[in-house]
């Protein structure tokens, strides 16, 4: 019982550290682990509606409002920012080659998500590619020469060194 209390207390403290933003989640039938391909020209792109910058996941109909994240990245909201997105265990991982960090987006309440930044294991990944392999989330550099494995339970990188693809 004491262990359960400590886990709940720790979880609520960690959850309290994240910021929130607006999110329209309209797809309730999505699988728990989903990968969105990001081949040249097929990545989701930002677009503007009034002063709001969005990225739409066409496969699921979900919109992620980017203004707050772009502000933290010190990027002016605009059309055409390319993103790599992975939905993994009900959470979204958002990355752009314009970003200095990866962003974890966690559904919180109706049309609200919590988001937090996660340091990248390496700078200059280019437009990285996500892959779910052997129940692990990997992020590859844009040339798919190196990858890093993400520990979803601890929200950190398992390996801080690049592993050559194919090894």
Closest by alpha carbon to 98, among 112, 121, 78? 78
At 89 the pLDDT is 81
Is the confidence at residue 5, as pLDDT, over 50? no
Q: Is the pTM of this model over 0.85?
A: no
φ, ψ dihedrals at 136, nearest 5°: -125, 145
38-55, pLDDT tens digit by residue? 666 577 889 999 999 999
Report the percentage of the chain scoring pLDDT > 70.
Answer: 73
């Amino acid at each position: 019982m004491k262990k359960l209390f400590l886990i709940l207390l720790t979880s609520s403290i960690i959850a309290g550290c994240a910021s929130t933003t607006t999110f329209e989640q309209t797809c309730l039938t999505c699988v728990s682990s989903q990968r969105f391909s990001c081949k040249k020209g097929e990545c989701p792109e930002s677009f503007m509606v009034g002063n709001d910058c969005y990225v739409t996941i066409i496969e699921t109909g979900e919109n992620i409002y980017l203004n707050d994240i772009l502000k933290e990245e010190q990027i002016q909201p605009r059309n055409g920012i390319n993103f790599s997105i992975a939905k993994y265990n009900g959470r979204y991982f958002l990355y752009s080659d314009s970003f200095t960090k990866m962003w974890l987006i966690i559904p919180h309440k109706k049309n609200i998500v919590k988001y937090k930044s996660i340091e990248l294991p390496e700078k200059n990944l280019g437009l990285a590619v996500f892959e779910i392999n052997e129940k692990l989330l990997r992020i590859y550099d844009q040339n798919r020469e190196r990858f890093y494995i993400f520990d979803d339970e601890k929200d950190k990188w398992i390996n801080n060194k690049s592993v050559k693809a194919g090894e």
